[in-house]
A and B are shown apart, each in its own frame.
Chain A
Amino acid sequence: MLAVRQLEAGYGESIILRDVSLKVEPGEVVCLLGRNGVGKTTLMKSIMGLLKARHGTVAYKGVDLTKRAPGRRAKSGMGYVPQGREIFGQLTVYENILIGLEAAPREGRGRGQANMIPPDAIAKFPVLPEMYARRGGDLSGGQQQQLAFARALASQPSLLLLDEPCEGIQPSIVDDIREVIRSIKADGRTAILLVEQSLDFVKSVGDYFYILEKGAVAWEGTLTQLNDDVIKKYLTV
């Protein structure tokens, strides 16, 4: 479904990613691992279109999106939960989710339904509707992360890009968020490309794994192949 081929990208003059290729199939959870600074977030940004690719292609559902703007990619079904959450601080929680609807497919939604948040987008976050009137910036980190999830799910994406969703969040909410990821996987409608530090968690949800090193894919394989040797070689600091 998502196919990245020989992608090269970077900031300004410096090249961060060299020759990265990866694939995500429908309904699959693909995990992106690697030590700090190997280019995981850069890869997510280039897939979403925030960074321009120098070489290579990003194709989604068979359509080449390499030259397309982030908005076009969002409309073709990619949802993005960025590192640092990037909530609109001055917008209310409700408005944040409504912005998430911008990328939702227009057909089947009349004018009157323009403000309809799909129930299953927020069903996993019962605490959000209680906070609809509060400003996004006033929420705690964990609440903001839940909001970022709901915002991305509002457009009912077929692929969710999750960049360190559990970073800097208290353990109980980390568990909640993992539960959410598991339930998205169980629903089977949304594929996930996940960047995450916790090996235990990644192993419990992942179908396929890529390990990045120095901006290139150093290893890829399934859960059974991800053994201690691989972990020691590529992930232990």
Chain B
Amino acid sequence: MDVFILQLFNGISVSSILLLIALGLAITFGLMKVINMAHGELIMIGAYSTYLTQNLFHAYMPSSWFNWYFVISIPASFLIAFLFGLLLEVSLIRHLYGRPLDSLLATWGVGLLLQQLARSVFGAPNVAVTSPSWLNGGMRILSDVVLPYKRLFIVGLVAACLIAMYFYIYRSLEGRRMRAVMQNRDMAACLGVSTRRVDAMTFAIGSGIAGIAGCALTLMGPIGPSLGTYYIVDAFMVVVLGGVGKLVGTVLGALGIGVFNTMFEYWTNASLGKVLVFLCIVAFLQWRPSGFVAMRTRSLD
């Protein structure tokens, strides 16, 4: 029983991290169809923003406030990654819409550039971010089962991001414009929607969410300039498995990969577990090439 609960929690925890790193990509790749290889670097930017916030708090704030730096660092990393995303879209991505291969190469180059930038600014070695003390420890639910607060916090953060994204995309005026443009750009333009603005905003928001993911990753361990490269494959896997263009699909994709990964790793070992997960994904995509949730409507033309 203890083992079962612990494994279930681990599965959900891994899923939540996967989901957080994939959510931004679900927008930039899922909605906008931009193969953004620099997504990992936007995560890295978010992580370093958290590091910077921490250092600023260290330097300029009374030490009793230090524990609350993390609360500030979440919006801060969103904002900084958002600005980087906006800059990237305006200067580069907007010239590459509808050219997947070009955008793949270009964004990969941007990724390398950003990594080197981080290396030049912060140095090549990993830096550590001190977690706030209120996230240390865990919740004891059975005598042997302790759920770490950090993991619980990430699960909560993902839930909050999901809810915010849901309301933005499906309930707000901006979200409605965004969906209209992504489905039928020309027609949306003919109805007076400013497609340039919508593109820039959408890409920037996707980038901002990657920043939040980076912020959360600082809780899991030290961070370095190549932090993003570890996560980019997972992020794409989640979005592709979930089905492009739907939030629900991304959630299912993350849950599927997270839970199965934990299960397989428990039964076998870490590397074999990963192989089995990949095999399952390949098999699944053979069976349903468009992922868990495919967009379907009656097509009339």
Contact = CB atoms under 8 A, between A and B. Distances in A.
B191 A89 contact: no
Contacts of B188: 88, 99
A82 interface: yes
Chain A interface main SS type:
helix
B192 A48 contact: no
B176 A70 contact: no
B192 A144 contact: no
B173 A114 contact: yes
Interface string B171-197: 001001101100110111111111100
Contacts of B179: 88, 90-91, 95
Interface in B190-247: 190-195
A88 B178 CA distance: 12
A49 to B, nearest CB: 8
B175 to A, nearest CB: 10
Given A85-B300, A86-B184, A137-B298, A99 B177 contact: yes
Contacts of B136: none
A19 interface: no
Contacts of A10: none
B297 interface: yes
Contact of B192 (A88, A102, A114, A141): A102
A181 to B, nearest CB: 19
A50 B186 CA distance: 7
Nearest to A94: B176
B195 A71 contact: yes
B183 A102 contact: no
A99 B297 contact: no
Interface residues of A, number: 37
B180 A82 contact: no
Contact of B191 (A99, A136, A137, A139): A99
B301 interface: yes
Contacts of B183: 88-91
B187 A102 contact: no
B275 interface: no
B135 interface: no
A157 B99 CA distance: 35
Interface of B: 173, 176-177, 179-180, 183-184, 186-195, 295, 297-301
B198 to A, nearest CB: 11
Interface string A143-182: 0100000011001000000000000100000000000000
A158 B211 CA distance: 46
Interface in A92-138: 95, 98-100, 102-104, 114, 135-138
Nearest to A71: B192
Contact of B301 (A84, A95, A152, A155): A84
A196 B177 CA distance: 31
27 contacts: A49-B189, A50-B186, A50-B190, A71-B189, A71-B191, A71-B192, A84-B300, A84-B301, A86-B184, A88-B179, A88-B180, A89-B299, A90-B179, A90-B295, A91-B176, A91-B179, A91-B183, A99-B180, A99-B193, A100-B191, A102-B192, A103-B192, A104-B192, A136-B297, A137-B299, A138-B297, A138-B298
Contact of A135 (B191, B194, B297, B299): B297
Contacts of A223: none
B186 A74 contact: no
Given A71-B194, A74-B192, 13 more contacts: A73-B190, A74-B191, A80-B190, A86-B186, A88-B179, A89-B299, A90-B295, A95-B179, A98-B176, A99-B191, A102-B193, A114-B173, A138-B297
